[in-house]
Structure 1
Amino acid sequence: MSLPSNSLKLRDWMCSAILGVTASNPAMALELTDDLVIHGFVSQAYIDTTDNNYFGRSDGGTFDFRELGLNGYWQPHKNLNFAAQVISRNAGRESDSEPRFDFALADLHYHIDFSTRIGLRAGRIKIPLGLYNQTRDAPSARNGIFTPASVYFEQFRNALVATDGISLYSDISRPWGDLNIEIYAGESDPGEQEMEYYVFKQALPGEFDDASMQGAQVRYESLGSGVRLALSYSRPSLDYVPLAGFDPLLNGHVISDMLVYSGQYNTEFWTFTAEYLLMINNVKGFGPGFEDFRAKGESFYAQADYRYQPDLTFSIRYGEQIVNDEDRDGDKKFNPAHVGFGKSWMLGVRWDFAPNWIARGEYHNTRGTAWLSGTDNPVGIDTVRDWETYALQLVYSF
């Protein structure tokens, strides 16, 4: 759901709107009426990698990674509300700053009793996958400058972040906590070339059609949010459309089954988060030029955040991704071998130095290139196995 051809004017308008509210009322959202509220954010990052490109042309330093967002919430009736967010995101060749709808939905709900609500959402809905997929485009809500790359794939981002369809949900509040159950189905745009690099490690003449998405999530949160648990399932299915007469491949299919186990424990000073992803990929029907295969991948990360002061938080994270569990070192099925895995340590700091303002700094030490963007690193053999990332980010939200 891209925006019209005057996207440059709209992006300028978004920036002006956000900066205008910043100057006139830095501590509050823009409340147009009692039922209509506008929020927004703007972020700018500097990224420098010792090798490889990450979120833009980062080898040597770049300011390519920036985000602008404007969202609104309108409740014309107690059982009906509308919500939408337009974002402009620059993060390498696959995210080129063109404004698009991150979500745009109608939510029809009904309270069975004081503590139970059921509802239907329709439109462009955020996919409930893990703890952070629904908020990964809001920089102040992420658990770092980047969501953990081992679980929240950037190569698969366009297909997984939102889908055009419907979801059914139920919210249950009891003395033992809150339970949310959601199931969804729809279609997602996989992006122009990123899926080709993800599957074939190269660009091809044809393209992947829209991804068919189905899935569900069960999420629990204790009173006071001390404990958060979630079990998420997503099944993206994609069809490849070859370019007639110029394509060595046939109409193949890629079907993935993704299961994410998530847990978080919060205390006054500490937050501990861990997520594990099991992903089974079935690739078939591309003809003699590309053999059918089935691969099971495993990914996880664990993160600890320490709130040294209310406005100052230190973080440490370790994440790991294995693309194929039959080749954990990547030296049997991948060329180069380091494409088959990724292992990374992150040290970070977050400073909430003023109302609505956040400054972040991070250092990543990474071995392997499993989560590198193919469009930013089109020649796999030119990538380097061991690399480091230094990142700074400034965020304003209202």
Structure 2
Amino acid sequence: MFVYSKFARAVFGIAVIALFSLSPRLAWAVDFLDGDLQVHGFFSLTLVNTSDNNFFGESDDQISNEYSEVGANASWRLTPDLQLSAQLLSHRAGGTDDGDVRLDYGLLDWTMTSSEEGRSGMRVGRIKTAYGLYNKTRDVPFTRPSIILPQSIYFDRTRNLTVSADGVELFVERYHEHGSLSASFAYGQPQTNTEAATVALVGLNPPGHLDSKLAPDFQVMYEGSGGKYRFGFTALHLDLRYKPGYSDRLGAGRFKLTPLIFSAQYNAENWSLTSEYASRRISVTDFGPYFYNGDALGESYYLQATYRLAPKWEALLRYDVYYADKGDRNGKDFAAATRLPPFTRYAKDWTAGVRFDVTPQFMLRAEAHHVDGTGFLAVQDNPNPQNLRRYWDSFMLLGSFRF
């Protein structure tokens, strides 16, 4: 009865989203000052059911509706070379995010040079982190290829650490007959002031907190034949310090994380192939005898295919792989040292999904996952690792509206 009631409430929420999208008075963005000031928004709700383990809330053999996104963004073209942009976001994701409204990004974009051959400039403020193909637009469901992004690259459990940073970004874009080349370099303060960021790295109920040095972020992208080909490289370095709290068993530890991401995409008329590979050098030191210290070289990759079945329909198939330590892929060395299940150090996820654009403003998605391993599950939703199951399935249904 409880599961049915929870499911009914969630379906009612998706129905409300559909009614909003079908209303002609709401199916437009708000423009002011002859289009120089624009306001847009979106909201979505996702139902999650898993055969074992919990994902985005209590989903094990029941329906969780604890994954939702609500956002409003605005851009104001002050001059031809200056633009202000900002987005407020409420992101709810099980135990990892409570849905509090926060500034997702807020920046001044200054184009310093512009010509037919390209442009260059800088962005100052809270800027979106360039991280693979999807990170800059990951918060808007319409821009993602699936309900959840490949977790081997775009971890939801540590989302706040890589989604944006407070600092400055320099960018340059060059346009040529055979394609375009863009590059950016950013230097900023990651968002470490959340409990979710600390818990993801040191465990539940930490009395201390994380701090971070300024993080450099570099990305270069090439697009050829009008976007038919896309190739990219991203390099990011995080240097995080743990500040112990009162009666803390952990020492003043340090995390160093350096992911290198190689991206490739091919877009045909009705189908697309996308793949990304990440190598992550990880160093964990000075936490003391009650923590797993050491160095590791993590590895992740996925291969994804999408096919446009009809103008409003799209199908997706993806294989996604994550290893916390390339030298200990099956997790046996980690299990021997910590007595934790070895499958918590990897995950292999087969995903099949379908998208239906009911209207240009309203989208429905359904997605099924078959997973070997629990490497990307959040400890907030699964506090006892001994209760985890190696093989598990999940089914998700999303409704999303934008204006």
Q: Same fold (TM over 0.5)?
A: yes
d(CA) in 2 for partners of 1:64 and 1:79? 41
Contact 1:230 1:263 in 2 (8 A): yes
Report deviation, 1:192. Answer: 3.5
User: 1:343 maps to which residue?
Assistant: 348
Q: Which amino acid aligns with 1:90?
A: R
Within the alignment, does 1:379 sit opposite 2:384 as a pair? Answer: yes
Contact 2:50 2:395 in 1 (8 A): yes
Distance 1:391 1:241, change over 3 A: same
Within the alignment, does 1:166 sit opposite 2:180 as a pair? Answer: no
Offset from partner CA, 1:128-175 (integer Å, 9 cap, x none) = 110001111010000100011111011221010000111000011111
Q: Which amino acid aligns with 1:48?
A: N
- The alignment of Structure 1 onto Structure 2 pairs a total of residues equal to 381
Q: Which amino acid aligns with 1:384?
A: R
d(CA) in 2 for partners of 1:64 and 1:94? 10
Offset from partner CA, 1:256-307 (integer Å, 9 cap, x none) = 0000000110011111000111001111122344464111110011110010
Distance 1:360 1:47, change over 3 A: same
Q: Partner of 2:343: helix, strand, or coil?
A: helix
User: 1:282 maps to which residue?
Assistant: 283
User: 1:357 maps to which residue?
Assistant: 362
Alignment of 1:1-398 (within 5 A): 23=23, 25-34=25-34, 35-59=36-60, 60-190=62-192, 192-210=194-212, 212-244=214-246, 246-290=247-291, 292-334=293-335, 335-398=340-403
Distance 1:198 1:24, change over 3 A: same
Distance 1:211 1:57, change over 3 A: farther
Q: Partner of 2:332: helix, strand, or coil?
A: coil
d(CA) in 2 for partners of 1:372 and 1:20? 33
| TM-score normalised according to structure 2 size | 0.90
Q: Partner of 1:158: helix, strand, or coil?
A: helix
Distance 1:267 1:80, change over 3 A: same
Q: Which amino acid aligns with 1:135?
A: T
d(CA) in 1 for partners of 2:288 and 2:112? 50
Q: Which amino acid aligns with 1:205?
A: P
Contact 1:159 1:211 in 2 (8 A): no
Contact 1:196 1:203 in 2 (8 A): no
Select between 211-220 and 361-370 the one with higher mean Cα deviation. Answer: 211-220
Report sequence identity in percent: 34
Report deviation, 1:191. Answer: 5.3
Distance 1:160 1:108, change over 3 A: same
d(CA) in 1 for partners of 2:194 and 2:27? 39
- What's the Cα RMSD here? 1.9
d(CA) in 2 for partners of 1:376 and 1:390? 17
Report deviation, 1:23. Answer: 4.1
Q: Which amino acid aligns with 2:69?
A: E
Report deviation, 1:112. Answer: 4.2
Q: Partner of 1:373: helix, strand, or coil?
A: coil
Q: Which has the higher helix share?
A: 2
Select between 148-157 and 185-194 the one with higher mean Cα deviation. Answer: 185-194
Q: Partner of 2:96: helix, strand, or coil?
A: coil
Select between 28-37 and 207-216 the one with higher mean Cα deviation. Answer: 207-216
Contact 2:252 2:287 in 1 (8 A): yes
Distance 1:306 1:24, change over 3 A: closer
Report deviation, 1:391. Answer: 0.4
Q: Partner of 2:95: helix, strand, or coil?
A: coil
d(CA) in 2 for partners of 1:288 and 1:363? 40
Distance 1:201 1:243, change over 3 A: closer
User: 2:7 maps to which residue?
Assistant: none
Offset from partner CA, 1:221-255 (integer Å, 9 cap, x none) = 124211111100111111100014x0122211101
d(CA) in 1 for partners of 2:21 and 2:49? 31
